[in-house]
Structures are given as structure tokens and as C-alpha cells.
Amino acid sequence: MNPKEFIEKLNDVRGLMTQEKYFDAIKILDKLKKTEKNSGYDYNYDVIHQLYQLDSNCRSVYNQQIILNHLKNISDKKKSISFEELNQELKDKYNLNLNDQILRREVELLILRNKLYCKIDKDAIILESVLL
């Protein structure tokens, strides 16, 4: 893939992220990372930086989307959930394997983005209301 095509694919990823199609964007990003490692092209540093920045951002928002949907689904049944329990449910139901620090960070980001209203009390999430 030549550099121009590579940049076009990065722009496609941005478009998918704008449409909140994170899973589709991640698939393209994975292909681009393989291309970058295996191709004979010496891609510009800025382009590679964009690739890995988009990858990080996209995976984070994808994780947040799954976490938010799961918390919304359980908020009618539970008033609180430990991070450990949430992490296990995410692994079992969505095959989402996050370490404890990343899970906590993703929940904190949802709170900062005003997508999730809750309190964090030590190692538990106290659910007040969940927004979509």
C-alpha cells in the first residue's frame, strides 16, 4: 500500500469513528498496523503517529461503548457493582479483557464525558443513572 492509500485509509477510520462504528474502524487499523510493519515503504513519522493515536483512541472509545451499554443493562437490577465483578462480566459476555486500571480509567472517562452518572467508592461503582 502506498503512502497516499495509507492516509486515505486513516481518513476512512476517522469517518467510521465519527459514525461510532468503532469495531469496523479497529479492523481497518489492525490491517494498517500490519501493513506498516510488513511493507517496504518508509511511512512518514507523522502518519505512523496518527495511526497509533487513532488506534489508542478508537479502542478506548470502543471499550467505553461496551462498558456503558453493559452498565445501562444492569442498572435496573443492581445499584452497585465492583470493578472486579464488572470486569468478569465484560470478559464473560463481551470477551472484553481489560486490566483493572484500564477498566477504572474507562469508567472515569465516561463520567468525565457526562455519559455516565455514578459514584466510585473505593473498588465499586455506585450506579445512579446511566446515559446513552
Domain extent listing, the chain: 3-130
Q: What is the pLDDT along the chain (132 residues), one digit of tens a residue?
A: 888 999 999 999 999 999 999 999 999 999 999 998 887 777 888 999 999 999 999 999 999 999 999 999 998 899 999 999 999 999 999 999 999 999 999 999 999 999 998 889 889 999 875 555
> CB neighbours (10 Å) of residue 117?
12
If you ran DSSP here, which 8-state letter would residue 115 be given? S
Domain 3-130 sits in CATH at 1.10.10
pTM: 0.86
Per-residue CA distances from 21 to 26, 76, 87 (Å): 9, 27, 23
